[in-house]
Structure 1
Amino acid sequence: MLKKSLLASSVAAVLSLGVMPAMAEEVAVVEIEEEAEGPNYVSATVGVSNLYLWRGLNLSDGKGSGSIYGSLDWSHDLGFYAGVWGASGDGSLGTEYDLYGGYTFETGDFFADIMFANYVYPEQDDEPFGDNTGSDVIVTLGFAGVEGSYTKRIAGGGYDDAYLTLGYSYAQFGATLGYQHFADYEGDGEDANYTHLDVNYAFNDNLTFTVSKVVDRNSDAGTLADVAPDATLFVVAYDMAFDL
């Protein structure tokens, strides 16, 4: 029996499913156990959620729209992987698809991963994504249920930002604390940051419930209070994984 870990987003990867949307960064780790022949594996995911959750924020832009998302992933026994993830539901940037690849290493209860992700918004031509794309590098380390990650923008449009997470999972329960930093948030030399807490409960392999809340922010950073409000977000996501 072979156990493989696929980092799929929501890109927004990894990209965290605070809920699946958002590979656009948070790293979602999908574990699949299967009898397999050969070193290469191909799988797919498809899912739906009541809103687009990304780093503690509701990207549905308060419009109450849900999100449909899916991915196609390839991985190798040596630890290399690549994939594409797409989603609807972003109220500001529109449809999104993400291309990503990386390497993951596992031994016992420890794992390490490095991922490169490119986010593309075909409908977006304006700032902050003037060239409608951006690229991040994501480094993740985990041991015995504890997991931490660091994400840094390395190319393309968007803010010069960094994102850190620290989380713990046990059985069906999990909690993640995330810290988002924007450099020169509004072009006036002022930085902005906020911290959010996500608490997850996996009812089964497909159905996940998440409560997310921004718990701290530097309130003097222009419109950050509008971007990262105090409202508590409740997210329900249903997704399925398939071996191809």
Structure 2
Amino acid sequence: MKRTASLLALACLSITSFNTLAEVSANVAASSNYYWRGITQTDDGAAFSGGIDYNSDSGFYAGTWVSNVEFGDQTSYEMDVYAGFSGEAQGLGYDVGYLYYAYPDAPGSSNFGELYGSLSWQWLSIKASYLTHAQKDSSTEEDMLYLELNASFNILNDSELALHIGRSSGDTIKEWTGEDDSYMDYGVSVSKDGFTLGLIKTDLNTNDDVKAFVSYSVDFTL
């Protein structure tokens, strides 16, 4: 369904190469399932992922991320490329950018891109993502909007409790799910020392069970 644009990443890195106050980091992760907006991307199988990120002191960032997927066709992996600006003003955090989802070995035209923006304050954040580009086989895939509200809190023993609620809407949603043109997804998770245990649920008729996942991730500076 869905998270070859390597040239975009190279261009973004070239633009910011003059800035020496920057950091390059990497991440690897393993999860019992890969959920995207409440829907499994690995047919309820395990996922292995990794990425590289460039962060400038100016607020500019760019990166790429890869994971295995399973859609029931020949598609075997997803490659995301993104770039944006983030910062803080008067205690209010902001983040705006562009994210491109690519499926290089997909049998059809599955790639698409989204423009996103978010605001955060202390433990609360809101984010909107809107479809801006799609290579699609169906003319009904014309628009998609995702709105989400997230909250995170420090709890016992330096663990983090995260709460999430999101709403997907648009013609693309109806094309992908075969149901209504909108649905809600909900999530709760607890994380500590790279380990995460979470629960996921949607209000889709064909995918309304509560599902659990466990994951482990490692981040390091290059």
TM class, shorter-chain normalised? 0.7 to 0.9
- Counterpart-to-counterpart distance in 1, 2:70 and 2:119: 29
- 1:196 Cα offset (Å): 1.2
- 1:94 Cα offset (Å): 2.5
1:90-146 Cα offsets, whole Å, 9 max, x none, are 3344301011000001246421001101111012132xxx2x421111111100111
Unmatched 5+ stretches in structure 2: 4-19, 155-159
1:26-56 Cα offsets, whole Å, 9 max, x none, are xxxxxxxxxxxx5110000000000111101
Residue in structure 2 matching 1:80, options 42, 60, 67: 60
Any conservation in 1 of the 2:165–2:184 contact (CA below 8 Å)? yes
Cα gap change, 1:213/1:191 in structure 2, threshold over 3 Å: closer, same or farther? closer
Any conservation in 1 of the 2:118–2:125 contact (CA below 8 Å)? yes
- 3-state DSSP class of the match of 1:97? strand
Identity value in percent:
26
Q: Superposed, which structure 2 residues align to 1:187-206 within 5 Å? A: 192-202=181-191, 204-206=192-194
- Counterpart-to-counterpart distance in 2, 1:117 and 1:207: 26
Any conservation in 1 of the 2:123–2:151 contact (CA below 8 Å)? yes
Any conservation in 1 of the 2:42–2:68 contact (CA below 8 Å)? no
Query: Which amino acid in 2 is paired with 1:207?
Result: F
Aligned twin of 2:149: 166
- Counterpart-to-counterpart distance in 2, 1:198 and 1:83: 25
Any conservation in 1 of the 2:85–2:95 contact (CA below 8 Å)? yes
Query: How many residue pairs are counted as aligned between the two chains?
Result: 190
- Counterpart-to-counterpart distance in 1, 2:218 and 2:113: 27
Cα gap change, 1:241/1:137 in structure 2, threshold over 3 Å: closer, same or farther? same
- 3-state DSSP class of the match of 2:104? coil
Any conservation in 2 of the 1:137–1:152 contact (CA below 8 Å)? yes
Unmatched 5+ stretches in structure 1: 1-10, 13-37, 218-224
- Counterpart-to-counterpart distance in 1, 2:79 and 2:57: 26
Any conservation in 2 of the 1:182–1:191 contact (CA below 8 Å)? no
Residue in structure 2 matching 1:212, options 177, 197, 200: 200
Runs of 4 or more, structure 1, over 4 Å off, are none
Q: Superposed, which structure 2 residues align to 1:44-59 within 5 Å? A: 44-59=26-41
Any conservation in 2 of the 1:213–1:233 contact (CA below 8 Å)? yes
Residue in structure 2 matching 1:143, options 114, 118, 121: 121
- Counterpart-to-counterpart distance in 2, 1:56 and 1:82: 25
Any conservation in 2 of the 1:66–1:89 contact (CA below 8 Å)? no
- TM (norm. structure 2) is 0.79
- Counterpart-to-counterpart distance in 2, 1:53 and 1:211: 10
Aligned twin of 1:43: 25
- TM (norm. structure 1) is 0.72
- Counterpart-to-counterpart distance in 2, 1:209 and 1:39: 35
Q: Which structure is higher in helix share? A: 2
- 3-state DSSP class of the match of 2:76? coil
- Counterpart-to-counterpart distance in 1, 2:104 and 2:132: 20
